[in-house]
Every structure is written in C-alpha cells, then in structure tokens.
Structure 1
C-alpha cells in the first residue's frame, strides 16, 4: 500500500491540482444550479405557481449566466483565472443562501436573486478555461476538459439526490443554506493551492514546466482580443451553433427532468430526485470514456478535425434518437433508460465543441469560450421557459422532446460541414 501511495504521489503534478480544484468548483456550481429543480416542486405548491411561472423562475438564472459569459472571459484574461473563479464562487454561494428569503419576500426579488446567482456562475467556466490555457499541455486537452466536465453531471447528481432527501426531511429552504455553504469551504483550498500560471507556482518542477510549454509559448496575460475574427469566421459560427444545440438538450434535462418524472410517471419528490440522478451518473462515466477515447484516437494518428466532428456527431445524433424514442415510452424504468441514453451519448460533445476553442484560438480560448457559452446559454432561457409553456399548452413533454431532437440533428450537420480544428485566430 505504501508503494502504491508513493507511486501515486510521484505522478501527481501541480497542474493536476488546478484540474481537480476547477472540477470541484464546477461540481458546486451545478449543485447550486439544480437544487431549485427539485425544490421548485414544493415551492410551486406553496406559492401557487403554474408551469409557465415555474419556467420563468427556472429560466431567470440563465439571464445572469449568459450576461457574464463573455465578460467573465475578458476579466479572466485581464486579471487571471484564480481571482475571477474565486470571486465568482463566493458571489454565487451567497445568493444561493439568500434564495429562500428572497422567495418569501416577493416574486420579483426571487427573480432578481436568481439572475444574480447566474451572474456569479457565468464566470466559472471562462475562468477555468483561462487556467487551462496556461496549465494544460495540448496532448492532455481532451482528457482535462473531460475531467472538468464531469463536474457538471456529478454536481447535478449530488444536487438532485441531496435536494430530494433534504427536502423530505427538513424542508426546501434548508437545501439552499446547506449547499450554499460549500463554496465558502472550497475557497480555502483554492487560495492555498491555485496559481493563475505555472510560472507563479513556487512548487512546480522544471520538468513539468517543460512539458506544459513543449507545444506552446507562454501566453501573456494582457493581449489584444481579436473581436472581429471571432464573428467573421464560419467555423466559429459552426462552433456557436454546436454549443447552442448541445446545451438545448442539457438545459431541458437540468431544469425539467424531475418535473417530467413527477408529472408523467407519478414519482414522488424523493423518487424524482433519485431517478433524475441516473442519467447524470451515466454522463459522468461517458464523459470520461469520450475524453480518453478522443485523446487515444488523436495519439494514434487520426485527424484532430475528424475526431472532433465524430464525437460531436455521436453526441448530438445519439441524444436526438433517444429523445425521439422516449415519445413512445410509458414504463417508468424505460423512461429512465432513455434519458440515461440521451445524456450518456450527449457526453461525447464535451470532447468535441468544448475543446474546439483551444484548437482554433489557443491564445484567446477563455474569451472565445465565453462567447461560445453565451450561445450555449441561450437555451437556458429559451428551452427552459418554452418547455414550461409547451407543457401548459399541450399537457405533454412530447413537443419539447421533438424540438430538442430537431436542434440536435441540425447541430451535428452544421458542425460537420463547417467546423475546423485549424488555428484560425491568432
């Protein structure tokens, strides 16, 4: 056992600290994002909301989240990922804890609080990309982004299961106080173990620095951002649309999966929380599989462009087929299987479009990803709110699933035709 521990520690590098800390930040981010997806069931009963109103509450978060995407990338580029990510976690954790008080005070204050919570969370991914831009060797990009991306489904699982259990035993308000406190614990480790760039870390070895910069020059913190190139290149627009279509299905599941299991299959709040966690557990496994497979295919000589388009297509087409199959499902167990398939296959997109900003704009990846994630956040408003309206009007989730599948199929086509992995932005 001592030999195993010694071998593990000897292989552990300073860049791994960054990956793990960023991943834990994303876990907390998604816990605080999805807890309301379960808590809103008793909140809806207490405050007398219809599904359209419930959709507005769920969608309001994404207004702030979208606003901060580009701005978060700019701030991270200027001040460094350490400062921006640390500040973001504290900000959104505070508004998570304030949610019950705002909800009781008034509906407008709840909406404002959700927007501000989204504003804090919106800086998290661009700030993490700023860290990865400096810390991750090109040969480890896909697996690093995949590891980081597992924070989303893992946080969702913890949020869904934990929220269902806490609400059942202690009430919906406690969920926000309990999970909101996690960010204040995380910041202690972030301040102690993170550095914006390898050159700032006094504990890093020369060998690790050599590995990190073997395939790239050290990137200066303050660079002129090529805004015109971001919006005039067809492959960038293909990337925007890939993000939009991928996230449409993701946000549909984040916001509405517990309600779907409750409304359509008659699950209790606790059952809905546990059942909704299963697809996200599948996603955790498949994100890792996709990341490992992607790096292996590239290492064996497959074209980077071919591999990026392959995994993006597997994710979008596969999830679309599962959503269409769900239209004919009446058994609760098969509904869980279909949703597991949809999110499990969608996981492949996180080795596709999410890595692509590092391919085409390595010096400006955090800013470009902020723009990409702005496009990817639009469904957080449109998909979440529109689903509530569709459910009210049709008394069914079928139209919402068909719409998501249509977007996914078109996204696979556009990214395959126009996407690239060449460095087109300097």
Structure 2
C-alpha cells in the first residue's frame, strides 16, 4: 500500500490562498446582495408614499402589549428627499427580485462548476453581479421594472457561487481538512455585516445611496484580477503549486472529484439523504431570511430602536455567526478526528445545534416580552448556533457524493432559497395590517416549529455514507485518471508523481 506523501514544508500553502480568495469572493457577493435592503430606505421618499397612500391622514395601531414608551403609529413625517415613490408592496417586490434569479441559478451553476471547473464559473458570477451592481443606480432611474430585472440577473449569476465553492473544496481540501475549509463561509457573515454597516454610512455622504452600489460593485470587479491570476480548478492545474503539496492533496482525497461526469438524476432524486438535506436547508434558510429581511422591522416597530441602533442590532446574529463559524469548524474536526462519536452522530449533533437551539431561542424571544437585553441575547445565540451549518451540513454533502458536490448544493439550495421569496410575504401577511407584539410572536412560534420539523426530517433520513451512484459504473472500482481533476495516488502510485 502506498504511503502518504509529505506536505510541502512552507507555512503558507497554495490551498490556503484558494480558501482566502474564495472567502473574499463570497464576501463581495454578499455585499452586493444585501446592500439594497438598507439603501432602499434612502432611495424612497417616505413622506410622498404616505401622502399618496393615506391622503395625508395618520394611520394608528393600538397594541395592548406594546413595549413602554410609545404608541405604534404610522403617519406624517419621514424623508422628503428620496428619489422614488415606491410603496411597501413595490419595495417588497424589489427586495425579493434577487431571490427569483438566485433560486433558478443554483442547479445550472452547480452543474457548470462540476463540468467546466470552479475557476471560470466563480469569476463570471462575481464579475457580472458586480458590474450589475455598478449599473443599479442607472437601472433604478430608468424605472422600477429595470431595477427589478437587474436584481433578478444578479441573483441568477450569484446562484452558482455556493455550488462552485463546494466543487473547489472537494478538489482542493484534503479529507481531514474539510472542516477547516468551512472558514470560507465566514464570507457570508462578513459580507452581510459589512454591507449593513457600511451602506448606512455611505448613504449619509453627499453622493448618498448610489455610492453603495458603486463601491461594493467596484470591489467585486477588483477581486476578479487576483482570482484569475492565482486560482485554478485543481492542484493538477495550478502552475505554481509546490509539487509536494500537490501530491499530498491528491493522496489525501480519498474520493476523487472528477469533471465531465453525467449527473445520475434518477438516483439522486430517489436518495432519501438528499431530501433530508433539502429539509435541513429549507428550514435553516427560513430563519436566516427572517433575520436578514424582517428583523429590522421588528426592532423598529416593536422594540422601538432608532435607525442607527437598528442597524447595529440587526447585525448581531451575523456577527455572532462569524464567531460560530470559526468555533464549529474546530469542534467537528476535533470530534471526528478523536473518534469521540461516529461521523453520522457527529453530523446529527452539530446540525442539531444549528436548528434546535435557534428554535428554543425564538420561543424565548416571544416569551420575554419587552426585555430588549434578553431578546438581543437570544438573537445573538441563534446566529452563533446557526453558523454550525457552514461545517456540518456541507461536510455531510461532501461525504454523500463528492463527485457531484456542486450539483447537489445547487439542487438543495434551489429549494432552500425559495425561502428568500416566501418569508417576506409570510411576515407581511401576518404583521403588516396589525404590526403588534402578538403578531410578531406568532411569526417566531411558526419559525421555531419549522426548525424542529426540519431537524427531525434531517436526523431520520440523512446518512454519512458515500452513495453508490457517486462512482460511475464504467469505473468498476478503478479511479479514472483526469489531469483536469484530482488524480489519487492511492490508486495510481507513482504515475501522478511522474506527471507533477
């Protein structure tokens, strides 16, 4: 049996550069996704909308359980210098537009990444979405329907990013380092927090809201240059990788991730573990988008914080999520490396933390009334624990079928990201006509119930075993050599070394 080659001696590895570039690219994509949620406040002429909708009369809401200090009132007041008179329905449509495209883009994005490789797909996704971000102000001035189309297109091209990252991890991360590569998904939290915090500051400048689209779009375009120069689809294709590191990576990836394999859709769709992943991600994303799109409304309408405080508090779950991302990557690596529990049990524990703890926290939020400190603490705890998905659930996917990692993530996220469209409509249907603490409590109870149901389905039907359809039948137990993918030295011995 061949011995495992030694890794390169340098402290900084080429695979670390790949992970860093992926993290920065994901961060950039999140900033252009999230910034409209904050910028739209500065874009809309709030007073003009109120005057048009209510003919100048104030709208009063009596809430017997209202938090001390005010009556829930909507009426005169607000900015007069916004550029657009979009009502609440139109604003909701524009905010949801991204996710119409995002849902559609996942499966083709994942398939393209598996077929052509992650480098080109990631580059095109970030480049096009960044360019569209720069064009967003012009789109808005051209008409709300043009901005809607712009946002749909941004979502469509960004749909391939997460599946592409999965494909790259399967080709670059040694099996025992997969949990460490979950740091890439820190970009989701960094991008969200950065976008929420910076967009408010950029809107306060003399250039106002257009500046946020120019800045975040410009940063994304700049990212494309180092990515194109320094990234590659696999160690075998990288021009400057240390040969020792290449051999080490190839030898320590037990299941080779190859390109240009036909997707076994019938087998994939009939695998219960795939639908367990769908159940997990749908329920996770329901809560994630609740925090992303609706939490600012709750903080403003129920807890009555001002705009500056609202921005900070809305970022809390994402800030603690960044910390959780780092902790859970280390924790599951420790659990599995030390063999404290089986791989399957480890997945159930880590992913249970990601769904069940937030469910309890949301119930507590509904029960503590107006205790702002307790509510913020529970939101922080929820965000922290939900970050476990960046390690546990993605490792679960990689274990099931590493050859189709991008396709599976695309398929699963197609269902999951429908939540980005549905959640704002559900929250609106429950709270818009009567935005009281009681109706918001109903939202939290519903979210908690969905989280528990999702985890039960996941825990019952998931598996940690590689599926038979992951290896094409033509291979007959033999790993086909492909210089565009991974060449596993366990099967090929010194052959890969001669081609290094």
Interval containing the TM-score (normalised by the shorter chain): over 0.9
The Cα shift of 1:9 comes to 9.2
CA 283–142 in structure 1, closer or farther in 2 if over 3 Å, else same: same
> How far off is 1:286 after superposition?
0.7
Separation of aligned partners in 2, 1:306 and 1:215 = 22
Displacement, 1:218? Answer: 4.1
Equivalences for 1:116-135 in 2 at 5 Å?
116-135=153-172
Extract structure 1 runs of 4+ deviating beyond 6 A. Answer: none
Residue 144 in structure 1 maps to residue 181 in structure 2: yes
Structure 1 residues 299-352: Cα deviation after superposition (integer angstroms, max 9, x where no partner): 011211111111111110111111122223414433322211111111112222
TM-score (norm 1): 0.94
CA deviation string 1:256-304 (max 9, x = no partner)? 2233322323333332222222221110001110111001100011211
Greater alpha carbon shift after TM alignment, 326-335 vs 404-413: 326-335
Mapped to 1, the partners of 2:298 and 2:286 lie a distance apart of 16
Equivalent in 335, 341, 360 of residue 381 of structure 2 = 341
- Identify the residue that residue 3 of structure 1 maps to in structure 2: none
Change (3 A) 1:329 1:102: farther
- Look up the SS of the partner of 1:395 in the other structure: coil
Q: Distance in 1 between matches of 2:273 and 2:396?
A: 10
Maintained 8 Å contact 1:55/1:386:
no
C-alpha contact 2:257 2:402 (8 A) present in aligned 1: no
Alignment of 1:274-353 (within 5 A): 274-301=312-339, 302-327=341-366, 328-353=368-393
CA RMSD after TM alignment: 1.8
| Equivalence map 1:2-401=2 (5 Å) | 10-44=10-44, 45=46, 46=82, 47-145=84-182, 147-170=183-206, 171-213=208-250, 214-216=252-254, 218-301=256-339, 302-327=341-366, 328-396=368-436, 397-401=440-444
After superposition, the Cα gap between the structure-2 partners of 1:59 and 1:385, relative to the gap in structure 1 and judged at 3 Å, is farther
Residues of 1 paired with 2:441 and 2:394: CA distance? 28
String of CA shifts for 1:168-202, please: whole Å, max 9, x gaps. Answer: 23422211111111111101110111011100112
SS at match of 2:257: coil
Q: Distance in 2 between matches of 1:340 and 1:173?
A: 31
Q: Which has the higher helix share?
A: 1
Change (3 A) 1:363 1:389: same
Moved more, 194-203 or 392-401: 392-401
Query: Structure 1, residues 131-179: CA drift from partner, whole Å, max 9, x if none?
Result: 112111111112212x011110111110011011111234222111111
Structure 2's unaligned 5+ residue stretches are 1-7, 47-81, 471-500
Asked if the contact 1:55/1:388 (under 8 Å) is kept, the reply is no
TM-score of the pair, normalised by structure 2: 0.80
Gaps of 5+ in 1: 1-7
SS in 2 for 1:11: coil
Pair 1:408 & 2:451 matched:
yes
Match of 2:478 in 1: none
8 A contact 1:258–1:276 mirrored in 2: yes
Kept in 2: contact 1:64–1:117 (CA 8 A): yes
